[in-house]
Structures are given as structure tokens and as C-alpha cells.
């Protein structure tokens, strides 16, 4: 799995003009299932992201995790993270097929929930409009 995470002070996702998910302080997680991901990838990604120390401590150092801060996660599927960009037209052959991608995305969401992290979601496969206030800005590319 691949994820692009952004530390946010707030984030939301809309589908057809309606807010389907929103959070306050936490992580916006854009996540992509890859064609070679096995069934353990969602759990490994959830644990990794829950423990990444990307939030400020009392000394203004990035030393706290999402679990430490009690922040939330907005989880949005984004198959374009699988893009190969050699040439002018991105290719997406490294992404998991849609049904497998949906399964892994839903599994990832369940794993985040099982860790006790408050979360909201986009809608898999929908045309989504994502809004965020990037805190920092702090953005990381993560793979498991």
C-alpha cells in the first residue's frame, strides 16, 4: 500500500456537493492499494501511520503520533498514487484492480478503527473534492 499523509488542522471530503467526511486536527490519509499488496498490508499501514511521530510536542519537535495526540484520520482512496510517470501520460497498471482495491481500502479503514482512532472516510471510486488546512505544512509519502 501507498499513502500520502498530511498533518492537518482540519480536512473534509465532499461528494456531489455534500460533506461525506470531515475531521479536525489529525491526518489526511490518501491511500492506494497496489496490485501486489497482500492481505496484511492494510494492518501494517494502519499501525505504521498510527505510530508515526509527526505532531509537535511541548518543545515544538515532531515527537508525537496520532495515537499520542488523540487526533483523527480522514481516509480517502486515491488510485493515482500508483501512477508511473515515465513519459507524459501517467500509467496506473501498478494499482490494484478496482474490486481488490476496494477490499484493501475497506480493510485499512477497519484496521484504523480497530486501533481506536477516530476517523471519517471518502467514498471509494467517487469523484471527491478534498479540502484541507495543511498544518506546517507537513506531508509524507509512506509505503509498506
Tens of pLDDT, residues 112-130: 999 999 999 999 999 999 9
CB 41 within 8 A of CB 144: yes
- Residue 59 structural domain: 2-135
In a domain, 142, yes or no: no
Tens of pLDDT, residues 83-114: 999 999 999 999 999 999 999 999 999 999 99
Question: How confident is the model at residue 2, as a pLDDT?
Answer: 98
User: Looking at 6, 59, 69, 78, which residue is catalytic?
Assistant: 78
Rounded CA gap, 123 and 5, in Å? 18
80 tagged catalytic: yes
79 tagged catalytic: yes
Question: How confident is the model at residue 43, as a pLDDT?
Answer: 98
In a domain, 124, yes or no: yes
As a whole number, the mean pLDDT across the chain is: 97
Number of domains composing the chain: 1
Tens of pLDDT, residues 28-39: 999 999 999 999
Amino acid at each position: 500500500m501507498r499513502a500520502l499523509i498530511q498533518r492537518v488542522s482540519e480536512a473534509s471530503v465532499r461528494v456531489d456537493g455534500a460533506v461525506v467526511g470531515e475531521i479536525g486536527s489529525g491526518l489526511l490519509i490518501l491511500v492506494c492499494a497496489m496490485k501486489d499488496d497482500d492481505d496484511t498490508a492494510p494492518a501494517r499501514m494502519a499501525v505504521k501511520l498510527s505510530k508515526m511521530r509527526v505532531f509537535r510536542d511541548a518543545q515544538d519537535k515532531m515527537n508525537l503520533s496520532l495515537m499520542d495526540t488523540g487526533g483523527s484520520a480522514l481516509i480517502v482512496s486515491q488510485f493515482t498514487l500508483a501512477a508511473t510517470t515515465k513519459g507524459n501520460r501517467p500509467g496506473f497498471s501498478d494499482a490494484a484492480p478496482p474490486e481488490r482495491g476496494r477490499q484493501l481500502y475497506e480493510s485499512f479503514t477497519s484496521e484504523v478503527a480497530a486501533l481506536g482512532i477516530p476517523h471519517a472516510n471518502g467514498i471509494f471510486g467517487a469523484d471527491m473534492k478534498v479540502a484541507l488546512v495543511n498544518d506546517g505544512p507537513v506531508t509524507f509519502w509512506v509505503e509498506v
